[in-house]
Amino acid sequence: MVVGSSDHLSFIIDSGASRNMSSVKDLFTSLYSYSGPNIRMGDDSKIEAKGIGRIDIKYGYLNNVLFVPNLEVNVIIQKFIKFKKI
């Protein structure tokens, strides 16, 4: 499922992913350096995360999102969305 309206602001909800990831630095409300292991992609290639932080969304937020500049599509895992109390 794709959520969003333009390519760089769209997110794919992926139940098989292990981490929330985005290549759009401007989406992060907080961002810190990250020196964790490379991310293994579905085709067995590896890419590097450059940061980790928080992204606020309309009705909640995502914590511990990896900033991955070379990622072609933003990925979120539905169970990791924290919803704001209304």
User: What token pair was written down for 1?
Assistant: 């499922």
Confidence at 22, pLDDT banded by 50, 70, 90? very high
**Number of domains into which the chain is organized:** 1
pLDDT at residue 83 tops 60: yes
In the prediction, which pLDDT does 65 show?
93
Which domain covers residue 43, as residue numbers?
Answer: 2-83
The rounded distance, in Å, linking the Cα atoms of 50 and 63 is 16
pLDDT in tens, 63-80: 899 999 988 888 877 666
Question: pTM for the whole thing?
Answer: 0.77
Structure-block tokens of residue 78: 């539905």
Q: Considering Cα of 59, then 13, then 82, then 71, what sign does the dihedral take?
A: negative
Residue 61 pLDDT level (bands cut at 50, 70, 90): confident
